[in-house]
Structure formats: C-alpha cells, structure tokens
Amino acid sequence: MKRIRYTKFTGDLASSFGLEDLMQALSDFLLDSGFNDPMSRFQEFDGEQTMENLREAIKQALESGELFDDEAQEKFDELSADQVEELVDQIIQKMQEQNFINAEMPENGQGKAGGDGESAKFEVTDKAMDFLGYKALRELLGPLGKSNLGRHDTRHEASGVETNGSSKLYEFGDTLNLDITATLSSVFAREGIRTAVEGEEHAPLNIEYSDIHVQQADYTSSCATVVLLDCSHSMILYGEDRFTPAKRVAMALAHLIRTQFPGDTLNLVLFHDTAEEIPVSQLSRVKVGPHYTNTREGLRLAQRILSRQNKDMKQIVMITDGKPSALTLPDGRIYKNAFGLDPLVIAETLEEVSRCKRSNIMINTFMLAQDFALMQFVQQVSAMCRGKAYFTSPERLGSYLLMDFMSRRMKTVH
C-alpha cells in the first residue's frame, strides 16, 4: 500500500504575504503626483516608474515591518544583501505573473542610465488600478458606517424582469413578461366563468389583445458622469498635496460605478492650460505640471463627452483648488492671468456654465480652497446649474464626494 507523508509547509518569504498588501504599501509610490513630500519614504524616487525605483520601493516596504509577521520578519532580518535582492526579484516576478504590473525591458545595448544601469520601465495594469480603487473605496466609506448601495431608484414603473407585484395592460414596446393570472382573469371576466368551466370540450379560450397583461418592474435610471480633475500647479503648492487624494477619489468612484451602477458611465477629464480626456487606467501616471487653470476648456470637453451619452441624468463632478486663470482664445492661443479673478476669464467660464444648464447638466464642485472671492464664484456656478458646492480639505474630499454621489442616486428622479 502506497504511503504518503505530510510535512509542514514553510514556504518562502515571497509567499509569506499577499501581493495585495504589497500593492497597498506601494500605493503612494504608484500614485505619485509630483509633490515633494519630505515625510514620504518614496520621495527620493521623483515619481519615475522605472524598474530600479520599483525595486527600491519594494525594499523599503519590506524593511518597514508592515508586511511580515513576527516569524517571517526574523527570517528577513537574517538575510544578506544578495538574498534580499533575490527576494525582490521573486516578488517582481510574482507581480508580473499575477498581472499587477507590465515590465517594459529596454532593447539590448540600449536604455542605459548613466552607463551603470538599465532604465527599464514598468506600467501599472488595469487590474492593479482596479484593486487600488477598491481599497480607496473601502477606506473612504469605512468610517461612514453602513450605507445602502443600490441602483438609481425612481418613482416610475416599467415592464421588466425584477417585478414589484403589480401589472399593466400590454403596450407596444413593453417587455413581454406576461402576468398569466391577470391575463386569464381578464379573459374570464369578458367571456364569463361558466364558459371557461362548462364550455365545449377542447374549446380554446379566446384571448384578445386587450386581455394581455405584463408584469410591472421598478424603473431604474442611469447616469453619465464626467470627473473634471484640476492638474494645475497649485494642486501641489502651499506645502500640501491635493492631487493624490483627488486621484484616489477618482479611482474609488470608478470602482463604485463599475460594481454598483453597471449601467452608468464615468469619464475622466484633466484640465490645466487646456483639457484632455484620459482613461482611468492611466490615472497613476498623471502628475501636475507648471500649468494654469482653464476651467472653461474642461467644461467644453465634458459637454462634448456627455452629449454622446444617452442617459437619464448627466453630471459634472469638478475637483479643483484654484480660480480659473486661463482661457483658450478663438485663434487657439492661451490667454493666462494668475492674478486675481480676471473678468474676461470669469465671464467666459460662466457662459460655459450657462450652456451646461441649458443642456440639463448638473455641476457639483468640490473646492479645496477657502478664498472668499473664489467661494463666491463657485457658489454662483452651483446656483446656475442646480448643483452643490463643497468647500473641503484633501482629507475629507472622498467622504463628501462619495456620499453626495450615492445619496443622489438613492433619491427619486422627477
């Protein structure tokens, strides 16, 4: 008889923690916004997503003591420098195998950085971005207690699959989800119950068009959302990083919509000197630059995106910390003025807000600043478009934005 001997599986250090925990530990490195934070352990990498920087970031995460349990930490402390390098190689290999990163190795004889190292690049995958969005969503909603996440309920009814117990006469275009009981009751009421019970044998019931009833279902609406994200230079000025929290909130919102509101759409627009649409999967690479704030161009692009969406509700979620300070002129030149609220820039921006109102697009603004004149401007924008203005901090941005998003989804659509 064949005998099997079982022994304790010890594994290696690369398997002693989950890659999800490592991705969470590396999130500040992966989502770098260009802000030079002296308190960050990853600040010396300058946000460059090279393989060498990734190796150093993994080493710092391993040395922090946050990933290993006590037994594994003791084993890690006993490793030599060469063994640590080998461990990092194993971890990077696992990250590639599990599709958290894609490595872009340079061609042979090329890609040397200063002649002593390869400047191989890596790219964060959609899977990794979705995971980081999920973690951000949990962190943002965790302190808020229980919340009833659902689809967009309305007061209206429609024929569908998820019935609510009522029925209606069939109309052309309705989903043919027959209510058999109501249909037969209509037949019996018209022809008489005795005809149905005592009629000739095998005589068919005469069902007419007016007898057909279909099940009613609650009509759920859909929403198209464009997140306008300010990436002007002021988002990392004044000793505070406002851009990284905004990136985390955008990822969390994308994960929330994908999992809880599958009929919705989310588009992401960056606005600075001009405006551009980017996929959420590319958000980790985005940094602020020496840019001004062209709010009108961002609103223009958002309107073009929303005009292509056939949704019941359309909204713009604008996250910014600065006043409009740039304008695209008819000849394509960029007019810039960073001093005060320029009358020309403000007037053109408010005109674009009026166009949003005429298109029934709501604008909700999340302002990361407390300047009085700017607050008045934002309140005027919100009043024009029946939206809301939130004056918050980077730490509270996610709570305000996500709770506002969900509360409006659970209200009746008129």
Could you give the CA distance from residue 28 to residue 57 in angstroms, rounded to a whole number? 10
Largest CA distance in the chain: 99
Could you give the CA distance from residue 159 to residue 201 in angstroms, rounded to a whole number? 35
Could you give the CA distance from residue 315 to residue 302 in angstroms, rounded to a whole number? 9
* Per-residue pLDDT, 7: 45
Q: Which amino acid is at 208?
A: E
Under a CB-based contact definition with an 8 Å cutoff, are residues 217 and 164 in contact? Answer: yes
Alpha-carbon distances of 258 from 125, 146, 263, 346, rounded to whole Å: 17, 20, 8, 35
Q: How many Å separate Cα 29 from the centre of its chain? A: 19
DSSP state of 316: E
Backbone angles phi, psi at 230, to 5 degrees: -75, 120
Alpha-carbon distances of 175 from 158, 213, 247, rounded to whole Å: 9, 11, 41
* Per-residue pLDDT, 284: 76
Q: How many Å separate Cα 20 from the centre of its chain? A: 19
* Per-residue pLDDT, 157: 45
Among left, alpha and beta (phi > 0; psi -120 to 50; other), residue 231 is alpha
Could you give the CA distance from residue 242 to residue 217 in angstroms, rounded to a whole number? 44
Could you give the CA distance from residue 257 to residue 223 in angstroms, rounded to a whole number? 10
Question: Which domains does the chain carry?
Answer: 13-105+119-124 (no CATH), 167-195+207-215 (no CATH), 223-410 (3.40.50.410)
* Per-residue pLDDT, 240: 75
* Per-residue pLDDT, 386: 76
Alpha-carbon distances of 87 from 12, 18, 323, rounded to whole Å: 9, 14, 48
Could you give the CA distance from residue 405 to residue 327 in angstroms, rounded to a whole number? 29
Q: Kind and range of the H or E element at 76?
A: helix 70-77
Could you give the CA distance from residue 395 to residue 210 in angstroms, rounded to a whole number? 60
Could you give the CA distance from residue 132 to residue 136 in angstroms, rounded to a whole number? 6
DSSP letters, 258-296, are HHH-TT-EEEEEEESSSEEEE-GGGGGG----S----HH
* Per-residue pLDDT, 109: 41
Backbone angles phi, psi at 193, to 5 degrees: -70, -30
Full-model pTM: 0.64
* Per-residue pLDDT, 5: 54
* Per-residue pLDDT, 193: 62
Q: Report, as ranges of residue numbers, the positions in the chain whose pLDDT lies below 50.
A: 7-10, 38, 108-117, 143-164, 410-414
